[in-house]
């Protein structure tokens, strides 16, 4: 089913409807606290997802002719023979290198729009379509990170990725503000489940004795000269350390769902699991040449950043004095008002007021004197 049909159907049946109020009312580690995602966290994920897409296209663009055109290793005729009936790819519409580069350029623009939060839902859908097309054009050369980023973009279509720190949030004056920063829906649970699926089932599939009980998986991985980095070359001589790291990788992947979704000691266990998983992926990046899998995985883990972290950061970056700052604009100047909205969204907080200068005894004369918008400590 196409995204254009999926979304209205899901909205009509309430499958992806948010439950903001429940998020704020539930005490302790309830369903909303465990399976909900903070809107500010979704904004962070949106930015990281867009950056990962840009990096992915940057890696693949120099090889456009070799891997994605009819002049390369897999012409369209051969790709169509291997492509199953339910798969599709826009890259199969034309085999010229110029067309491949055009689609990649469109993806770059869509990723930039996603980072800025402009037409966020449409740009998320477009990025998913182009990512899926890229994966299906030549799946032989791609790796797990390409599959994961495509799935993340798919579930992102059903989430309010542009509700915070975005052009959409700044300029949509008619949108009713959410009663809180929490967001709970079937889509949030599905997105978190998608991320955890990678780790939990990845651990279950590690059935070889080189994982448990031998603990030699990291040692063998670093023996592959084509994958190992200089740090990996050093690590493979430390047998005791490689055995400990093998046990660590297997254990944290298996335990990740239970730690990240634990109703007991929810916040400390989630932070502990996040730190361990991020450290694991950074270790992969330092020791092995595995493309962008580590970066895409860290972007997916950002979805578990708790709202308490944003509250803590907000109290330090935006103390009460900064929250009193008011922005004034020339009444009737739509451009001026939009500029103030953008400044508030990206530089201040939602608590900072925006008002017409003509209605203020101090800001009005300043506007008339300087012919510009005015910032005052309210």
Full 3-state SS string of 133-161: HHHHHCCCCCCHHHHHHHHHHHHHCCCCC
Q: Is 252 found in the same domain as 137?
A: no
Q: Is 174 found in the same domain as 300?
A: no
Give the integer Cα–Cα distance in Å for 138 and 102: 17
Tell me the two tokens of residue 47.
């930015």
Count: domains in the chain: 3
* Crossing angle of helices 144-156 and 39-60, rounded to 10°: 140
Q: Is 171 found in the same domain as 307?
A: no
Q: What per-residue confidence (pLDDT) applies to 17?
A: 47
Domain-embedded: residue 134: yes
Domain-embedded: residue 22: no
Domain edge (last residue) among 291, 312, 333? 312
Domain edge (last residue) among 312, 337, 364? 312
DSSP string, 154-185: HHHTTS-TTSSSSHHHHH-TTSPPPSSSEE-S
Q: Is 152 found in the same domain as 57?
A: yes
Structural domain for 144, as ranges = 37-183
Q: Is 145 found in the same domain as 228?
A: no
Give the integer Cα–Cα distance in Å for 103 and 73: 19
Domain-embedded: residue 323: yes
Q: Is 350 found in the same domain as 240?
A: no
Q: Is 285 found in the same domain as 323?
A: no
Q: Is 220 found in the same domain as 177?
A: no
DSSP-derived pairing of the beta strands 354-356 and 325-329: parallel
Domain-embedded: residue 192: no
Three-state secondary structure of 86-134: CCCCHHHHCCCHHHHHHHHHHHHHHHHHHHHCCCHHHHHHHHHHHHHHH
CB 352 within 8 A of CB 323: yes
- Count the neighbouring beta carbons within 10 Å of the beta carbon of residue 69: 23
Instruction: Give the H/E segment covering residue 355.
Output: strand 354-356
- Can you tell me whether residue 237 is helix, strand or coil? coil
Cis peptide before 213 (omega within 30 of 0): yes
Instruction: Give the H/E segment covering residue 66.
Output: helix 64-68
Q: What per-residue confidence (pLDDT) applies to 354?
A: 85
Give the integer Cα–Cα distance in Å for 338 and 365: 21
Q: What is the largest CA-CA distance in the chain?
A: 78
Domain-embedded: residue 303: yes
Q: What per-residue confidence (pLDDT) applies to 100?
A: 96
- Count the neighbouring beta carbons within 10 Å of the beta carbon of residue 96: 12
Domain-embedded: residue 88: yes
Give the integer Cα–Cα distance in Å for 191 and 231: 34
Domain edge (last residue) among 183, 213, 246? 183
Radius of gyration of the chain (CA): 24
Tell me the two tokens of residue 283.
């270790």
**Which of 325, 323, 360, 355 lies closest to 337 in space, CA to CA?**
355
Q: Is 238 found in the same domain as 372?
A: no
Q: Is 141 found in the same domain as 231?
A: no
Domain-embedded: residue 10: no
CA distances (Å), 71 to each of 63, 106, 140, in order? Answer: 11, 22, 16
Give the integer Cα–Cα distance in Å for 31 and 268: 17
Give the integer Cα–Cα distance in Å for 307 and 362: 37
Q: Is 68 found in the same domain as 179?
A: yes
Alpha carbon 310 to chain centroid, angstroms? 16
CB 229 within 8 A of CB 285: no
Domain-embedded: residue 188: no
Could you list the pLDDT tens digit for every one of the 378 residues in the chain?
444 434 343 444 444 444 444 444 444 347 888 999 999 999 999 999 999 999 999 999 999 999 999 999 989 888 888 777 677 899 999 989 999 999 999 999 999 999 999 999 999 999 999 999 999 999 888 888 999 999 999 999 999 999 999 999 988 866 666 667 889 999 999 999 999 999 999 999 999 999 999 999 999 999 998 899 999 999 999 999 999 999 999 999 999 999 999 988 999 999 999 999 999 999 999 999 999 999 999 999 999 999 989 888 888 888 887 888 888 888 888 888 888 888 888 888 888 888 888 877 787 787 777 766 666 665
Q: Is 179 found in the same domain as 41?
A: yes
């Amino acid at each position: 089913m196409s995204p254009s049909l999926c979304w209205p159907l899901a909205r009509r049946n309430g499958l992806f409807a948010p439950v903001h109020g429940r998020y704020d009312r539930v005490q302790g580690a309830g369903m909303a606290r465990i399976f909900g995602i903070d809107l500010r966290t979704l904004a962070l994920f949106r930015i990281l997802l867009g950056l990962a897409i840009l990096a992915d296209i940057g890696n693949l663009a120099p090889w456009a002719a070799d891997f994605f055109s009819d002049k390369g290793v897999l012409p369209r005729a051969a790709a169509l023979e291997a492509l199953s009936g339910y798969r599709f790819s826009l890259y199969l519409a034309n085999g010229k290198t110029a067309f491949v580069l055009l689609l990649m350029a469109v993806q770059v623009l869509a990723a930039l729009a996603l980072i800025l939060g402009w037409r966020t839902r449409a740009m998320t859908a477009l990025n998913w379509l182009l990512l899926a097309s890229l994966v299906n054009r030549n799946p032989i050369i791609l790796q797990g990170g390409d599959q994961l980023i495509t799935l993340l973009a798919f579930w992102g279509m059903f989430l309010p990725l542009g509700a915070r720190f975005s052009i959409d949030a700044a300029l949509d004056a008619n949108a009713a503000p959410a009663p809180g920063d929490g967001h709970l829906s079937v889509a949030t649970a599905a997105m978190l489940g998608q991320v955890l699926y990678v780790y939990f089932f990845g651990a279950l599939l590690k059935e070889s004795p080189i994982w448990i009980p031998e603990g030699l998986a990291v040692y063998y991985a670093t023996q592959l000269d084509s994958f190992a980095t200089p740090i990996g070359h050093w690590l493979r001589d430390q047998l005791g350390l490689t055995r400990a790291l093998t046990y660590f990788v297997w254990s944290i992947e298996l335990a990740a769902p239970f730690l990240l979704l634990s109703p007991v000691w929810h916040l400390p266990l989630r932070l502990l699991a996040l730190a361990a998983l991020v450290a694991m992926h950074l270790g992969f990046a330092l020791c092995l040449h595995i493309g962008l899998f580590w970066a895409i995985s860290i972007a997916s883990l950002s979805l578990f950043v708790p709202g308490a972290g944003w509250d803590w950061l907000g109290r330090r970056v935006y103390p009460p004095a900064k929250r009193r700052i008011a922005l004034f604009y020339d009444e009737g100047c739509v451009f001026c008002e939009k500029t103030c909205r953008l400044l508030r969204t990206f530089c201040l907080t939602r608590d900072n007021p925006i008002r017409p200068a003509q209605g203020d005894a101090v800001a009005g004369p300043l506007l008339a004197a300087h012919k510009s918008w005015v910032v005052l400590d309210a």
